[in-house]
Chains A and B, each alone.
Chain A
Amino acid sequence: MYSRAYKAAVAIPPVLWVTVFLLVPYAILFCYSFWSLSPQQVIVHSWNVQNYLQLIRNPIYLTVLFRSMRIAATVTLLALLLGYPLAYFVSFHAAKRRDLLYQLVIIPLWASYLVRGYAWKTILGSDGVLNGLLQYLHITQQPVEFFLYSPFAVVLTLTHIYTPFTFLPIYASLEHVPRNLMEASQDLGVSPWSTFRRVILPLSLPGVLAGATFAFVLTLGDFLAPLLVGGPSGIMISNIVVSLFGAAYNWPLGAAISLCLLLLVVGLLFATERLEKRLLPT
């Protein structure tokens, strides 16, 4: 029913834009990662794999990468531990207030990232709200230093930011669980907890997977939270990239790291897709 002209008219503009502003930049990124920096701080277009070798040889990069992945995994885990029960509560036990409770979750999600990151900074600082509260309650005499400018702060902030991200897909998949499945299960003599374990949890796994992927990938690539609350010990891989494009001027190396990140993310997405297909074989 749709003529060639129609198909061309709808497909070509977005394809064109995406090619120019996504594909071409990635290609340029790719090229840069194989170039190098001359001693005069000029980018030389000689093709080599020096940058990648440097990534492997110099321990600092791998260290930070692994730290980043640890932080990302921790954040993902915590976000799931917070988001799943919340989603379950809103989906199954909220009755009339379901709409309201749902809105209460998406508000922090879309309200400014910067504001939330900044908020934790004011709370965790040595003269921040938390320390003030602890001293007020005479729990501590001195300000506690490690709250802020540590991996702890980064994990806390990012967990706060990405919990709604895990909530959404889990909630969506829970909503799709037909209520009569639970009734049938309990009718057959299975307890609520076992029903959850054997019926609901498996059916919600695609949502869990989606949420986990989101939280992990976005945390891994996050550079703002470490800059706000991370301090020197909370640096993540993206911060290295940022400085390579800033003060530590070495674009080719930065491009190499970015490309690795990009490939890692794309690889993760493919793996998730595969896994999801296996989980729900419809």
Chain B
Amino acid sequence: MRREINSRRPHLLTAYAILVYAFLYLPIIVVVVYSFNGSGVGGFPPSSWTFNWYTQVFADAPLWDAVLNSLIVAAIAVAISLALGLPAALALDRTQFPGKAAFRRLVLLPLILPGIITGLSLLMLFVAVGMKLSLVTITLGHGTALISVATTELFAGLQKLDRAQEEASLDLGANHWKTFWRVTLPNLRVSLIAAGLLIFTLSLDEIAVSFFLIGRDNTLPLEIWSRLRRGITPEINAISTLILLFSISTILIWYRLRTRSAHAREPVATMLPTALEGEPL
């Protein structure tokens, strides 16, 4: 049971905290507000209320092509990341083998490595093998970068698993493969969905790695980026608001999934230091 120590409200700290929240949300609010602004971007105060920009967005065909591309890439990236992240998590959680520490560090490296390095090195790989840049290369890049997210999430999920259940299954005559399908996987269901959601959202927004692997077709962030280079249009505010809406809802769902089944509240924050120090793994 939590006990709050100070019954006195710390006014200074509260005020500071409010300011920080304001700082964090200010740009977001500005974008949302100005997406309804009649005279478009900039200036103060916003002049008139309009849905024009949204209408423009929905009529913008190349944009939705890019959206479709992003969705396909994200879906496949989720599949790749989970398919590789799950065995990686199992290997890290359960087995010992020579080079395990190095393996752990390597798998988690993309979490903290700036995207430019991952992107560039993959670019060189594709050039070296003569693979043309396209959505395929982008997907491979996303998959690679996001395996670390999958591994971390699924590892946390495995830790919460009651090991005795798997032993019980083995004890009752089911071999490792059957135990995995009948006991481990069902218990990991929530973790898998949560990890999938997170990876999906991160892939949709991914730009640093994609920047170097782009071929003829754009993903959504790259499409927006190329438009930004040409100049700011008010339509971009509307697009941004829609994107915000989408990512916020998925993140909230992910958070609910993550904390719902936890016995102890285990904040996602442990993912980052875990990635750094690697120790708990």
A binding-site residues for B, Cβ under 8 Å: 1-3, 6-7, 9-11, 13-15, 17-18, 21-26, 28-29, 32, 82-83, 85-86, 88-90, 92-93, 95, 99, 102-108, 110-116, 118-123, 125, 127-129, 131-133, 135-136, 160, 163-165, 167-169, 171-173, 175, 179, 182-183, 186, 192, 206-207, 210-211, 213-214, 217-218, 220-224, 228, 238, 241-242, 245, 251, 254-255, 258, 261-262, 265, 269, 272-273, 276
Q: Once bound together, how far apart are the Cα atoms of A13 and B82, in whole Å?
A: 12
A sample of 6 more A-B contacts (CB under 8 A), given A22-B110, A136-B45, is A13-B84, A28-B121, A102-B267, A108-B24, A112-B243, A221-B113
Q: Once bound together, how far apart are the Cα atoms of A75 and B105, in whole Å?
A: 26
Say what secondary structure dominates the interface of chain B: helix
Beta-carbon contact of A214 and B147 below 8 Å: no
Beta-carbon contact of B277 and A273 below 8 Å: yes
Return B263 CB to nearest CB of chain A, in Å. 15
Beta-carbon contact of A160 and B24 below 8 Å: yes
- B contact residues, total (Cβ < 8 Å): 97
Q: Is B205's beta carbon under 8 Å from chain A?
A: yes
Beta-carbon contact of A17 and B147 below 8 Å: yes
Return A16 CB to nearest CB of chain B, in Å. 9
Q: Scoring B residues 255 to 281 as 1 if CB is less than 8 Å from chain A, else 0, what string do you get?
A: 100010000000111111100111000
Q: Is B52's beta carbon under 8 Å from chain A?
A: no
Beta-carbon contact of B208 and A105 below 8 Å: no
Q: Which residue of the partner chain A has the closest CB to B204?
A: A112
Beta-carbon contact of A111 and B115 below 8 Å: no
Q: Is B5's beta carbon under 8 Å from chain A?
A: yes
Q: Once bound together, how far apart are the Cα atoms of A41 and B147, in whole Å?
A: 36
Q: Once bound together, how far apart are the Cα atoms of A6 and B97, in whole Å?
A: 12
Listed from nearest, the 3 A-B pairs whose CB atoms lie closest are A221-B114, A132-B44, A25-B121
Beta-carbon contact of B5 and A92 below 8 Å: yes
Beta-carbon contact of B207 and A122 below 8 Å: no
Return A142 CB to nearest CB of chain B, in Å. 15
Q: Is B88's beta carbon under 8 Å from chain A?
A: yes
Q: Once bound together, how far apart are the Cα atoms of A238 and B25, in whole Å?
A: 27
Q: Scoring B residues 60 to 98 as 1 if CB is less than 8 Å from chain A, else 0, what string do you get?
A: 000000000000000000000001110110110011010
Beta-carbon contact of A106 and B95 below 8 Å: no
Q: Once bound together, how far apart are the Cα atoms of A45 and B123, in whole Å?
A: 18
A selection of 19 A-B contacts at a CB cut-off of 8 Å is A3-B176, A22-B144, A28-B124, A83-B20, A85-B17, A89-B10, A93-B14, A108-B28, A118-B224, A163-B24, A179-B3, A183-B5, A207-B269, A210-B276, A211-B272, A217-B112, A218-B114, A258-B121, A261-B114
Beta-carbon contact of B31 and A210 below 8 Å: no
Q: Knowing A118-B31, A168-B267, A183-B5 touch, does A213 contact B276 (C-beta < 8 A)?
A: yes
Q: Is B169's beta carbon under 8 Å from chain A?
A: no
Query: Which A residues touch B181, using CB under 8 A?
Result: none
Q: Scoring B residues 25 to 63 as 1 if CB is less than 8 Å from chain A, else 0, what string do you get?
A: 111101100100000011111000000000000000000
Query: Which A residues touch B110, using CB under 8 A?
Result: 22
Query: Which B residues touch A116, using CB under 8 A?
Result: 27-28
Query: Which A residues touch B117, using CB under 8 A?
Result: 221, 258, 261-262, 265
Residue of A172, A186, A254 near B273 (CB, 8 A) is A172
Return B106 CB to nearest CB of chain A, in Å. 5
Beta-carbon contact of A21 and B107 below 8 Å: no
Beta-carbon contact of B87 and A21 below 8 Å: no
Which of A29, A111, A192, A213 is packed against the most chain B CB atoms within 10 Å? Answer: A111
Residue of A26, A95, A132, A261 near B4 (CB, 8 A) is A95
Beta-carbon contact of B94 and A2 below 8 Å: yes
Beta-carbon contact of B91 and A254 below 8 Å: no
Q: Once bound together, how far apart are the Cα atoms of A11 and B20, in whole Å?
A: 43
Q: Is B221's beta carbon under 8 Å from chain A?
A: yes
Query: Which B residues touch A29, using CB under 8 A?
Result: 120-121, 124
Q: Once bound together, how far apart are the Cα atoms of A164 and B23, in whole Å?
A: 11
Beta-carbon contact of B84 and A14 below 8 Å: yes
Q: Scoring B residues 160 to 180 as 1 if CB is less than 8 Å from chain A, else 0, what string do you get?
A: 000000000010000010000
